[in-house]
């Protein structure tokens, strides 16, 4: 093993050090009343607010929907993770002194395993907070859970939650990249005759680039995997309308998995819509008769990702509800959920005929 | 018509059309749209200036945004405020204490910012109480009154609360001369023998802002109207206007308007300071109160003080002079350079402008006309720099734009005149609606005024707005003074009677405005830092309820064991640390007041129940989605029934039964 690999392993160990202090992940919450946003950082040892009192304020808001109070002292893994990180750093230094390629690979494997475990732990922590809701919660929206995403953005009632890796994770990624580069160099160096001078700079660059690619791909695949939560389990064979599909009625696109509608006519033509309003307007506009429809389905707002029969769905219309076309119209599967939404958001409850009437009147069709 | 001329005509027509179109896209200067756009602050955006308007007889200060004219806040100062509980809560009542007892009201006239180097520094706002002489200090990080100081030996603190260039002192001046001896019982018509005037120098602590009455200067028995400290070259001096140099004590409207000239009193405060240091001040009997918010105790405290140090003009030669000035002058305003002393002779036909350097030269040359009460009177011709001719009827008060112009409000002819500080000629005039008192340019009394807008504070609205009965609110008019001509932008009603105002760039105050009171730094001895510490305690006939407020409940919200005859103190702590999440407390039959508790603060309200029964209480501030559920009950038992104390929140019930067990 050549000196560059050794140095890279030392560098890998050092790069891990900032992760003791820097946040690994950042979750941001934004609501109409919180235009500045609230947020928290998740670190190796602690969870803290973007601003000094954010955790307290998040807890106060969360108690209405029955979420547990976030108390860093009660999160066991925060006492274990620093040990794991310390171990990785110590191991990196030991591996550097060993000067052999396979220990580097072993180190990388342990590193990857610990990272995966950490991410899983983070996800399951999120899942627990988002799903294990107090039965005494003042605000209960049936079927609603409040798990923030691992990576990306989601709408939870009035709150837009975003979640992204933070600076600490960048350093961890760089440490991993350094480790891979060290491994590449170590393997190459083994094949060379001792007398020849290698081209360390180039090798390092290539190795680092390769390593970075691997890390990026790894993190992308980790973040890309959608955890099978309760929603998914209760929806076997759920059909979806992918966000981004162009609407066949208006110029829009399906904005997110909670919205959208679909029409299949008896002649087999399939149309997709960004909203219930567009489906209704399309039917009214073209004068499509009930006997020409094979199926008309809308996305169940409460679950998202599931298409339900538009003519059997329950609708709530309220200026306080979001809908992509601005009529404040949402479809849900059961009357109970419709009643609940109506209780919180007021407005009116409609059936399919009511939806057609409303769209005809509002859009003057 | 030749083809060529046809083409030429077409081109001309097209050009004219294009020009017309281009004009359509712009708002014509002076059009309604142009004027409206100059005050328009789009939703979600901020005003350029904070303006602080005195409330006059409501004893408050109102805070406004300029140029929009949107009201931002009302700060109770010399008033009781049933909205916030100011003046009702145990923590704020001490601020209203005087040597005459608790006085829940006053007439607040002249707000003045603390200054550094002659420019407003945005730390504090001082304001005077005209009736029972006091000066208050408002903290501009919380926009709350934090201190009041009573001014003894004073008959009406009108010429106040003006600060010196670096806030070394804030001055007071008696409007009414009164007997010099404390609590003297003398015939009123012995005015000339027994009465005297007093101007006061209140030192301001450079870090904490804490005020202390440093010394007073005994002056002749005239009326003292307004004051201003000098700046730059004149920074060591303070100038006061006098009227009633006739020394009338009845029917002043006639008797005090006889003399052609009254005086501006010029005082070198540096020399007074030295004289006090040299022990030349004489002790004088006095009793007064100093009330201030004590961060270490989380509450305001009242301290009774006695005695003052008084200087007599004869003891401080070379420090006190009179400048003859026509006629019953109101304002005495120093231009940004510190050289010109502008008097608003409210019955004068000109605006006299004295020169500070000429004044110094005249003093040096001992160019005195005479001497009254041991004070040298300088010759008018020796100190005058110029007279502004044709200023209108009743010039009152002047501010400056920093670009070489002065703006004087003129009461009787109801207008504002703009005049040049170099030629003393009127260059523009504009109507005021109606009967303008003071005017205000943002930092228009500073060394570097922000001369973009001007606010005229007028006395009567009459037909300006939708009528609201015989008594209407006082208006203010906003003018754009950035151009050669003054342009009136808007006209809006205010609250109280704003006598004077101050304004400062929003960028100076916004960053320091506090969002919460830190619970960690809450040193109130009856604060509770955690909801779990909420409790009820009995000390003899006194029951103390330590109540926590947090969205959306009070803790405890069921209280039993109180008897008729008990005195109950509700110590409310808002344990939230979230901006603008305020809780309130109201209780049926509360003879005191409702109280608002900002995040992190502790506020105490006293209650003496007189009837047994169940008393509902609730949160008065719409704090959250379940605000309407934020409520509770107090049970009051008959006198002598000696029930156990019991308090409950949800399924958690506590009582003092254990403590009472033998």
A122-140 pLDDT, tens per residue?
999 989 999 998 888 888 8
d(CA A276, CA A325): 9
A60 and B CB contact within 8 Å: yes
Tell me the average pLDDT across B600-629: 96
For B588-630, the DSSP string reads TT-SS--EEE-TT-EEEEEE---S-EEEEEE--S--STTGGG-
DSSP A136: T
Tell me the average pLDDT across B453-479: 95
DSSP β-ladder status, B436-440 and B646-649:
unpaired
Contact A52 B626 (CB under 8 A): no
Which residues of chain A are within 8 Å of residue B624 when distances are taken between CB atoms?
64
A52 and B CB contact within 8 Å: yes
A56 and B CB contact within 8 Å: yes
> What pLDDT was estimated at residue A230?
36
Half-sphere exposure of A189 (CA within 13 A, CB side): 22
d(CA A9, CA B179): 90
pLDDT in tens, B129-172: 999 999 999 999 999 999 999 999 999 999 999 999 999 999 99
What does pLDDT average to over chain B?
94
List the single residue in B with minimal CA-CA distance to A345: B625
- Compare CB distances from B625 to A53, A57, A64 and report the shortest one's residue: A64
Contact A60 B576 (CB under 8 A): yes
Q: Which residues contact B556 (CB under 8 A, 6 or more apart)?
A: B534, B535, B536, B545, B547, B632, B647, B648, B649, B654
**With helix as H, strand as E and coil as C, how does B109-174 read?**
CCCEEEEECCEEEEEEEEEEECCCCEEEEEECCCCEEEEEEECCCCCCECCCCCECCCCCEEEEEE
A69 and B CB contact within 8 Å: no
Contact B418, B427 (CB under 8 A): yes
- Compare CB distances from B551 to A53, A60, A139 and report the shortest one's residue: A60
pLDDT band of residue A319 (cuts 50, 70, 90) is confident
- Compare CB distances from A138 to B516, B578, B626 and report the shortest one's residue: B626
Residue B59, pLDDT above cutoff 90: yes
Residue B528, pLDDT above cutoff 90: yes
- Compare CB distances from A60 to B516, B550, B629 and report the shortest one's residue: B550
Compute the nearest-CA separation of B626 from chain A (Å): 8
> What pLDDT was estimated at residue A192?
52
SS3 B39: helix
A138 and B CB contact within 8 Å: yes
Contact A138 B577 (CB under 8 A): no
d(CA A263, CA B626): 41
Residue A15, pLDDT above cutoff 80: yes
Higher pLDDT, B359 or A265: B359
d(CA B162, CA B143): 19
Contact A64 B577 (CB under 8 A): no
Tell me the average pLDDT across A195-200: 40
> What pLDDT was estimated at residue B181?
86
What does pLDDT average to over chain A?
82
User: A22 — phi, psi (to 5°)?
Assistant: -80, 150
Contact B577 A57 (CB under 8 A): yes
pTM: 0.79
Q: Whose structure tokens read 């009164």?
A: B178
Higher pLDDT, A74 or B358: B358
> What pLDDT was estimated at residue A191?
57
pLDDT in tens, A78-105: 999 999 999 999 999 999 998 788 999 9
Compute the nearest-CA separation of B520 from chain A (Å): 11
pLDDT in tens, B643-661: 999 999 998 999 887 555 4
> What pLDDT was estimated at residue B4?
55
Compute the nearest-CA separation of A60 from chain B (Å): 7
Tally C-beta pairs within 8 A across A and B. 23
pLDDT in tens, B189-221: 999 999 999 999 999 999 999 999 999 999 999
Compute the nearest-CA separation of A18 from chain B (Å): 29
> What pLDDT was estimated at residue B11?
54
Of A77-91, A329-343, B432-446, the poorest mean pLDDT is in: A329-343
pLDDT band of residue B1 (cuts 50, 70, 90) is very low
- Compare CB distances from B577 to A56, A64, A139 and report the shortest one's residue: A56
According to DSSP, the residues that pair with B263 across neighbouring strands are: B324
- Chain B residue set in contact with A, beta carbons under 8 Å: 516, 550-552, 576-578, 624-626, 629
Contact B629 A52 (CB under 8 A): no
Tell me the average pLDDT across B541-565: 97
Contact B577 A139 (CB under 8 A): no
Contact B625 A139 (CB under 8 A): yes
According to DSSP, the residues that pair with B353 across neighbouring strands are: B342, B386
Residue A340, pLDDT above cutoff 90: no
List the single residue in B with minimal CA-CA distance to A344: B625
Contact A314, A303 (CB under 8 A): no
Measured over the CA atoms of residue B351, residue B356, residue B357 and residue B363, the dihedral's sign is positive
In B162-188, which positions are buried (b, 16+ CB within 10 angstroms) versus exposed (e)?
bbbbbbbbbbbbbbbbbbbeeeeeeee
Compute the nearest-CA separation of B533 from chain A (Å): 17
């Amino acid at each position: 093993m050549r000196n560059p690999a050794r140095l890279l392993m030392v560098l890998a160990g050092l790069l891990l050090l900032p992760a003791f202090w820097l946040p690994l992940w950042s979750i941001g919450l934004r609501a109409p009343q919180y235009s500045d946003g609230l947020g928290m950082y998740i670190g190796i040892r602690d969870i803290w607010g973007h601003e000094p009192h954010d955790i307290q304020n998040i807890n106060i808001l969360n108690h209405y929907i029955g979420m547990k109070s976030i108390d860093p002292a009660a999160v066991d893994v925060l006492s274990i993770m620093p040990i794991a990180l310390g171990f990785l750093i110590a191991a990196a230094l030991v591996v550097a002194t060993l000067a052999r390629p396979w220990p580097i690979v072993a180190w990388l494997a342990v590193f990857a395993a610990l990272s995966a475990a950490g991410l899983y732990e983070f996800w399951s922590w999120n899942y627990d907070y988002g799903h294990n809701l107090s039965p005494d919660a003042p605000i209960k929206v049936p079927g609603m859970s409040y798990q923030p995403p691992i990576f990306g953005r989601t709408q939870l009632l009035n709150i837009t939650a975003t979640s992204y890796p933070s600076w600490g994770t960048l350093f961890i990624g760089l440490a991993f990249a350094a480790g891979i580069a060290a491994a590449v160099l170590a393997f190459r160096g083994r094949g060379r005759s001792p007398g020849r001078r290698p081209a360390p700079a180039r090798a390092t660059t290539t190795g680092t680039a390769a390593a970075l690619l691997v890390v990026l791909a790894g993190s992308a695949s980790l973040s890309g995997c959608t955890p099978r939560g309760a929603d998914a389990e209760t929806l076997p064979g759920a059909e979806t309308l992918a966000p981004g599909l162009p609407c066949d009625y208006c110029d829009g696109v399906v904005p997110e998995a909670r919205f959208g509608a679909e029409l299949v006519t008896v002649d087999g033509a399939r149309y997709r819509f960004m909203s219930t309003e567009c489906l209704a307007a399309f039917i009214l506009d073209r004068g499509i008769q009930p006997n020409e429809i094979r199926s008309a389905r809308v996305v169940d707002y409460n679950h998202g990702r599931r298409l339900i029969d538009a003519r059997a769905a329950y609708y709530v219309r309220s200026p306080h509800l979001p809908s992509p076309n601005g009529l404040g119209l949402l479809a849900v599967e059961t009357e109970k959920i419709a009643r609940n939404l109506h209780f919180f958001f007021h407005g009116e409850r409609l059936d399919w005929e009511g939806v057609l009437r409303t769209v005809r009147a509002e859009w003057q069709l | 018509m030749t083809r060529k001329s046809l083409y030429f005509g077409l081109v001309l027509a097209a050009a004219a059309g294009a020009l017309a179109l281009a004009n359509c896209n712009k708002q014509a200067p002076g059009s309604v749209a142009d004027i409206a756009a100059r005050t328009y602050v789009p939703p979600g955006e901020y005003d350029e200036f904070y303006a602080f308007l005195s409330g006059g007889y409501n004893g408050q200060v109102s805070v406004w945004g300029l140029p929009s004219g949107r009201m931002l806040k009302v700060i109770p100062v010399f008033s009781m405020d049933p909205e916030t509980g100011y003046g009702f809560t145990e923590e704020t009542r001490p601020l209203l204490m005087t040597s005459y007892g608790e006085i829940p009201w006053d007439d607040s006239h002249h707000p003045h910012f603390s200054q550094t180097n002659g420019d407003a520094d945005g730390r504090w706002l001082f304001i005077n109480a005209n009736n029972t002489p006091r000066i208050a200090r408002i903290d501009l990080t919380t926009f709350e009154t934090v201190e009041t100081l009573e001014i003894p030996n004073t008959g009406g603190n009108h010429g106040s609360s003006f600060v010196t260039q670096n806030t070394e002192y804030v001055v007071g001046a008696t409007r009414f001369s009164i007997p010099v001896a404390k609590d003297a019982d003398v015939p009123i018509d012995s005015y000339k023998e027994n009465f005297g005037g007093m101007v006061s120098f209140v030192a301001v602590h450079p870090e904490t802002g804490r005020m202390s009455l440093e010394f007073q200067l005994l002056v002749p028995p005239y009326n003292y109207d307004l004051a201003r400290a000098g700046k730059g070259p004149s920074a060591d001096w303070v100038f006061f206007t006098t009227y009633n140099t006739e020394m009338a004590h009845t029917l002043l409207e006639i008797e005090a308007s006889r003399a052609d000239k009254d005086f501006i009193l010029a005082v070198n405060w540096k020399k007074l300071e030295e004289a006090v240091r040299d022990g030349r001040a004489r002790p004088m009997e006095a009793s007064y109160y100093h009330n201030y918010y004590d961060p270490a105790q989380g509450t305001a405290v009242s301290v009774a003080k006695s005695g003052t140090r008084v200087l007599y003009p004869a003891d401080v030669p070379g420090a006190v002079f009179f400048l003859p000035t026509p006629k019953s002058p109101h304002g005495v305003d120093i231009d940004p350079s510190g050289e010109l002393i502008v008097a608003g002779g409210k019955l004068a036909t000109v605006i006299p402008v004295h020169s500070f350097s000429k004044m110094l030269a005249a003093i040096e040359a001992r160019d005195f006309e005479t001497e009254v009460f041991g004070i040298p009177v300088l010759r008018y011709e020796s100190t005058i720099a110029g007279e502004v001719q044709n200023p209108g009827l009743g010039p009152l008060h002047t501010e400056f734009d920093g670009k070489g112009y002065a703006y004087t409000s003129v009461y009787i002819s109801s207008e504002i005149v703009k005049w040049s500080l170099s030629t003393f000629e009127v260059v523009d005039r504009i109507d005021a609606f109606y009967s303008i008192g003071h005017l205000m340019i943002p930092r228009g009394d500073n060394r570097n005024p922000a001369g973009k807008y001007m606010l005229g504070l007028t006395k009567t609205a009459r037909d300006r707005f939708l009528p609201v009965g015989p008594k209407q609110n006082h208006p203010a008019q906003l003018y754009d003074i950035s151009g050669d001509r003054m342009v009136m932008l808007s006209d809006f009603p205010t609250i109280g009677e704003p006598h004077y105002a101050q304004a400062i760039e929003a960028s100076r105050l916004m960053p320091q405005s506090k969002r919460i009171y830190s619970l960690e730094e809450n040193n109130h001895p009856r604060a509770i830092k955690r909801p779990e510490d909420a409790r009820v305690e009995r000390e003899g006939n006194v029951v103390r309820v330590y109540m926590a407020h947090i969205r959306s409940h009070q803790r405890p919200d069921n209280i039993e064991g109180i008897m008729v005859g008990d005195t109950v103190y509700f110590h409310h702590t808002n344990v939230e640390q979230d901006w603008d999440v305020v809780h309130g407390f109201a209780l049926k039959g509360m003879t005191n007041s409702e109280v608002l508790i900002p995040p992190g603060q502790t506020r105490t309200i006293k209650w003496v129940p007189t009837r047994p029964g169940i008393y509902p209480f609730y949160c008065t501030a719409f704090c959250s989605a379940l605000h309407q559920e934020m409520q509770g009950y107090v049970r009051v038992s008959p006198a002598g029934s000696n029930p156990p104390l019991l308090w409950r929140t949800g399924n958690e019930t506590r009582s003092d039964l254990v403590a009472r067990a033998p």
